[in-house]
Amino acid sequence: MESVSFHTLTFDHPAACRPAQLSASLHLPAPGERPAPCMVILTSSAGVQRHREHYYAEVLNEAGTAALIIDSFTGRGVRRTVADQTLVSGAQMEGDAFAALALLRDDSRIDPRRIGIMGVSKGGVATLNAAIAVRQRWRGDFPHLFDLHVAICPGATAQHRDPTTHGRPMFFMLAARDDYTPAPLAVEYAERMRAAGNGRIKVKVYGNAHHGWESIGPVFDIKDAENWSCCRNVIEDDGTHFIPAAGRAMSEPEYQAWARQHCVTRGARAGGGTPELKQRATADLLGFLAAHDFAAPWTNRKFPAIEEA
């Protein structure tokens, strides 16, 4: 593992225009015959966790894929955003990811044609946003795109009116019992992206899974969680939010204030994972990556058992 630091990419979005110095950990597989593919890993609202982000990095390394875990919180003086999602926005995490993409493309150990992005929950939102075509215009002259996207339990209450993507492969990994980032909204978003022209989208809903299934053990309550699952809105091409319940479009700050008054609730459930579920989902992830030359062909390997910190 190597520690790296970089400045985030700021772009034309009210929540993505503040500069920050960030840290990340680069996890490299054993040396191979060619530069390795790499997945940029964005965290959930809980920040970097051993049983989640480090687990995925180790699994990817076992499959011959590098991983860069971005810590979007510490450099901004934040530990977690569970109770207040404005502390670090999804747009800021999106800027972090693209800054990391530029860094990786200059690393001779990484194949610049095989750099993907994945994220859980809040990180999954940024992962989806990185695929939306109109947002490239917001990023100005930044020339690069991710080659593959994996969103695990992403929030999808805010969907772009124009869901056209760059056409890169996408995998939605969803939990049927998720009351935090409900699966039906993400399924709907994936269908809209397909209808807009991306035929390389895979969706899988795990029938017995809850949000954060990487945590093995009983389901637990996140009592202080800001829950945005009832805050449906449409993101216009100019970045404003059209709120069907209000019948009008709002700027980002207006929407944040309106939502907290009218639709944000408190509390969600998470966890409830089992070793069998985690292994099955990991196999699906690596199978998807292997199908797109982002990982070694799937074998019935044993996965690392990383305990929660």
Cβ proximity of 45 and 122 under 8 Å:
yes
Local confidence band at 307 (pLDDT 50, 70, 90 cut-offs): very low
109 has a pLDDT exceeding 70: yes
Number of other CB atoms surrounding residue 214 within 10 Å = 23
**Residue 13, pLDDT score:** 84
pTM: 0.95
Number of other CB atoms surrounding residue 309 within 10 Å = 8
Q: Across all residues in the chain, what is the average pLDDT?
A: 94
Q: What is the mean pLDDT of residues 43-62?
A: 95
Burial 99-122 (b: 16+ CB within 10 A, else e): bbbebbeebeebbeebbbbbbbbb
**Residue 297, pLDDT score:** 72
37-51 confidence digits (pLDDT tens): 999 999 999 999 999
Closest CA relative to residue 125, chosen from 79, 72, 77: 72
d(CA 187, CA 181): 11
**Residue 309, pLDDT score:** 35
Burial class (CB in 10 A: 0-12, 13-18, 19+), 98: buried
241-265 confidence digits (pLDDT tens): 999 999 999 999 999 999 999 999 9
Local confidence band at 17 (pLDDT 50, 70, 90 cut-offs): confident
Q: What is the CATH number of domain 2-214+273-291?
A: 3.40.50.1820
What are the residues facing 25 on neighbouring strands?
Answer: 3, 69
Here the tokens at position 305 are: 């058992």
19 has a pLDDT exceeding 90: no
**Residue 102, pLDDT score:** 96
Cβ proximity of 40 and 144 under 8 Å:
no
**Residue 203, pLDDT score:** 98
Angle at 156 between CA 128 and CA 293, to 5 degrees: 30
d(CA 204, CA 183): 10
Q: Could you tell me what percentage of the chain is helix, strand and coil, using 3-state DSSP and rounding each to the nearest 5?
A: 30, 30, 45
126 has a pLDDT exceeding 50: yes
137 has a pLDDT exceeding 60: yes
